[in-house]
Amino acid sequence: MKNLSRFCSLLGALAFVAPAQVQPDLPAWAYVVRPLDYKDPVDDGSLRHVPDSTKAWTLTQLRDFFFAPDWHPGDHAALPEVVAHGRKPDLFACGFCHRADGPGGPENATLAGLPEAYIVQQMADFKSGARRSAVSERVPEMAMIKVAEAANDAEVKSAGAYFSSLKPRKTITVMETDVVPKTHVVGWVLAPVSDTDKEPLGHRIIEMPKDIEQFESRDARSEFIAYAPIGSVKKGESLAKSGDNGKTIQCVLCHGADLRGFGPVPGIAGRSPSYLVRQLLDFQGAKRNGPGATPMTAVVAKLKLDDMISLAAYSASLAP
């Protein structure tokens, strides 16, 4: 727990006494938290590698919150200092969590290609308290609040300009199925228990890295698979395009016909379905109250969890 304890001390906590608790009415598969007995793998000093990169770092280096491992520097422009290293003692490197060119993961947001003004506003919302999570003790959300409080206007603008200039990649494969691998928590994401253990999917989306070691090495080229209920993509398309007879407001009206965003409105195509479900629930629970939350209030008012699952599965299935 050394790494997690250090993280929490940087967040102003004296110790990591207990893990965040997911309320019974919220889906634990969307709000993934570390179990109390979770332990990070021990660093044996060996160098880690990822496909198609000549770079190499140890686990200790890859766990440094003030370092964004840039496995593929040819994929993007030079990283601004705030993205690459942050600023000690409180401003973690943006690229540590969101990766060097902003694809993020199931535990946080994809930043690549988001409008600069939107990124700046979200940082302001985290700083003011207008944006929170239904599970407020989750470390990813706590980290964002800490970063937003520490960052100055120039650093926020620098990061926003960099991430908004990037072209997002399709990293998620959506697979409709009834049966999925049985999972456990690794870091802040789900991973298979074994190659053989299976269980019914039920009313869930199970999203995980295709290669957990590559993802834990913070490789921006990591890809993911999202198992969704059979028929959910088609149902989600209907909700997004028609509103399903008044159940919701059509997503395409604001996010564009292809859900890739429109003007200052962020794209939601190709984004993590776990992240999207969390945001829909946070909007519904009035945990997001910034300027962009007002139009979302009517969108989520009548949605059930199954509707959110379908919308997220459809959005994730699209090219960003």
Domain boundaries defined on the chain? 2-164, 172-317
pLDDT of residue 299: 96
What does the block give as tokens for 277? 């479900």
What does the block give as tokens for 32? 């993934």
pLDDT of residue 20: 61
CA distance 69 to 140: 18
* SS3 label, residue 257: coil
Q: Binning pLDDT at 50, 70 and 90, where does residue 38 land?
A: confident
Q: Is the pLDDT of residue 12 over 90?
A: no
Q: Is the pLDDT of residue 167 over 60?
A: yes
What does the block give as tokens for 46? 């060996």
Question: Are 141 and 135 a contacting pair, CB within 8 Å?
Answer: yes
Class at the top of the CATH hierarchy for domain 172-317 = mainly alpha
Q: Residue 279: name the closest of 49, 82, 106, 75 by CA.
A: 106
The pTM is what?
Answer: 0.93
Q: Is the pLDDT of residue 1 over 90?
A: no
Question: pLDDT (tens digit, 9 = 90+) per residue, 168-207?
Answer: 999 999 999 999 999 999 999 999 999 999 999 999 999 9
Class at the top of the CATH hierarchy for domain 2-164 = mainly alpha
Q: Is the pLDDT of residue 123 over 50?
A: yes
Identical fold between 2-164 and 172-317: yes
Question: Are 136 and 26 a contacting pair, CB within 8 Å?
Answer: no
pLDDT of residue 23: 76
CB atoms within 10 A of CB 60: 11
pLDDT of residue 9: 46
Mean pLDDT of 278-304: 95
What are the residues facing 227 on neighbouring strands? 175, 206
pLDDT of residue 136: 81
